[in-house]
């Protein structure tokens, strides 16, 4: 199988390469793709060196799969060109997520929707993936009615520039700013741009993508906050169900879902934290407790590495699903 990684020199692209290696996807050829300024650079993968190529060259090479992590504008322009040449594009940007003719996939939840005809497949937003991983089995059992989610999002979600800003601030160095304000020792209640309704684009992604993946009848209200953390995203989640639930049954359901790790033993100070989720592919859930202010309502704390399950790992898992189910050309 010939695989292109578009955006191979970027933060998520680098993690995609790591995940491809770790999961041992059967590659006959790797095609690292990046912008013009990176063409000709050398990428090392599985003890071999590869030259970075440009978009046109990559399209002509007709990869079986192209894993995109190069921004929405690039995806809108180039994903259809790859698809027209027979390549299946798995796109990590927001470009195609809400398109009615494109599927938004978390393999553990709705991979079964994929068919041979799907040539552009959308990877959900990082904060959405970890949320729906936990909500999906609970929705199947109790039917989710409303979700209130507050996120505590790693600076790695913004990219290398944000990591450098925080490091500069911690070392007293003036440098380029990824954010309008200092991020070290601070929380910024803005992820992405503000929209006319007063919510940010990131907050509306959580709303719209959760509804598309799980159920359009679910009401979602989100507040997304950037925090000076590197390891992953955290979410405080309040879920109202239509049906009554049992706490032990909730824990039992979540502990038996592949891709979820239950960490819910507060008596022994066991709960999810981004420092310990970093570098792992599972979604971690804990602080499970009943909302005592309202019936049929549950509180949860969800943590995941936003560069792995929130981006690279989910994309590679989609590729694995296509391969395992003979959905490639």
244 falls within a domain: yes
How many structural domains is the chain composed of? Answer: 2
* CATH, residue 264: 3.30.360.10
Cα–Cα distance between 62 and 83 in angstroms, integer?
Answer: 9
Using an 8 Å Cβ cutoff, are 126 and 233 in contact? yes
- Model confidence, pTM: 0.97
Catalytic residue among 112, 139, 191, 233: 233
Does 199 fall in a domain?
A: yes
Which CATH number is 90's domain given? Answer: 3.40.50.720
Active-site hit among 112, 126, 139, 191: 126
Do 184 and 292 have their domain in common? yes
Domain, as residue range, for 103: 2-123+311-324
109 and 201 both lie in a single domain? no
Residues 217 and 297 in one domain: yes
- 297: exposed, middle or buried (C-beta count within 10 Å: 0-12, 13-18, 19+)? middle
Same domain? 139 vs 213 = yes
Cα 75 to Cα 83: distance, rounded to the nearest angstrom? 11
Calculated CA dihedral for residues 252, 258, 260, 264, nearest 10 degrees? 30
Q: Is 126 a catalytic residue?
A: yes
Q: Is residue 244 domain-shared with residue 114, that is, in the same domain?
A: no
Same domain, 93 and 228: no
Same domain for 141 and 77, yes or no, is no
Tell whether 190 is covered by a domain: yes
Q: Are residues 149 and 228 in the same domain?
A: yes
Check if 233 is active-site.
yes
- Residue 324: Cβ-neighbour burial (10 angstroms; 0-12, 13-18, 19+): exposed
Residues 119 and 89 occupy one common structural domain: yes
Q: What is the pLDDT of residue 204?
A: 98
Residues facing 30 on adjacent strands: 3
Q: Are residues 241 and 274 in the same domain?
A: yes
Residues 240 and 300: beta-carbon distance below 8 Å: no
Residues 6+ apart with CB under 8 A from 115: 327
Label residue 54 exposed, middle or buried (CB < 10 Å: 0-12, 13-18, 19+): middle
Residue 92 sits in the same domain as residue 201: no
Q: What is the rounded distance in angstroms from the CA atom of residue 135 to the CA atom of residue 254?
A: 9
Q: In this structure, are residues 307 and 300 in contact, taking their beta carbons and an 8 Å threshold?
A: no
User: Domain for residue 78, yes or no?
Assistant: yes
- Counting as low any pLDDT under 70, the low residues of the chain are none
- At 329 the pLDDT is 79
User: Does residue 155 lie within any of the structural domains?
Assistant: yes
d(CA 70, CA 159) in angstroms, rounded, equals: 12
DSSP, collapsed to helix, strand or coil, labels residue 35 as: coil
Do residues 301 and 9 lie in contact, with contact meaning Cβ atoms separated by under 8 Å?
Answer: no
């Amino acid at each position: 199988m010939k695989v292109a990684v578009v955006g191979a020199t970027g933060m998520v692209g680098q993690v995609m390469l790591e995940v491809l290696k770790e999961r041992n996807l059967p590659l006959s050829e790797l095609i690292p793709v990046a912008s013009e300024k990176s063409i000709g650079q050398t990428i090392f993968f599985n003890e071999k060196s590869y030259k970075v190529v440009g978009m046109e060259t990559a399209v002509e090479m007709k990869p079986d799969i192209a894993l995109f992590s190069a921004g929405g504008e690039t995806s809108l322009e180039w994903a259809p060109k790859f698809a027209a040449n027979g390549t299946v594009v798995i796109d990590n940007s927001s470009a195609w997520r809400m398109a009615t003719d494109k599927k938004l996939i978390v393999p553990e939840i709705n991979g079964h929707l994929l068919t041979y005809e799907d040539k552009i497949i959308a990877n959900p937003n990082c904060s959405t993936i970890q949320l729906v991983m936990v909500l999906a089995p609970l929705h199947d059992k109790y039917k989710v009615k409303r979700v209130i989610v507050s996120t505590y999002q790693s600076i790695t979600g913004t990219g290398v520039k944000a990591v450098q800003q925080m490091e500069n601030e911690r070392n007293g160095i003036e440098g380029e700013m990824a954010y309008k304000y200092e991020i070290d020792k601070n929380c910024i209640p803005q992820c992405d741009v503000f929209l006319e309704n007063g919510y940010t684009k990131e907050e509306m992604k959580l709303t719209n993508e959760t509804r598309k993946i799980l159920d359009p009848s679910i009401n979602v209200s989100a507040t997304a906050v950037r925090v000076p953390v590197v390891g992953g995203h955290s979410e405080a989640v309040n879920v109202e169900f239509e049906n009554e639930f049992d706490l032990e049954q909730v824990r039992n359901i979540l502990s038996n879902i592949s891709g979820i790790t239950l960490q819910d033993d507060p008596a022994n100070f066991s709960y999810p934290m981004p420092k310990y989720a970093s570098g792992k592919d599972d979604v971690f859930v804990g602080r499970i407790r009943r909302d005592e202010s309202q019936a049929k309502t549950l509180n949860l704390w969800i943590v995941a590495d936003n560069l792995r399950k929130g981006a690279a790992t989910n994309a590679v898992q989609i590729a694995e699903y296509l391969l395992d189910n003979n959905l490639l050309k």
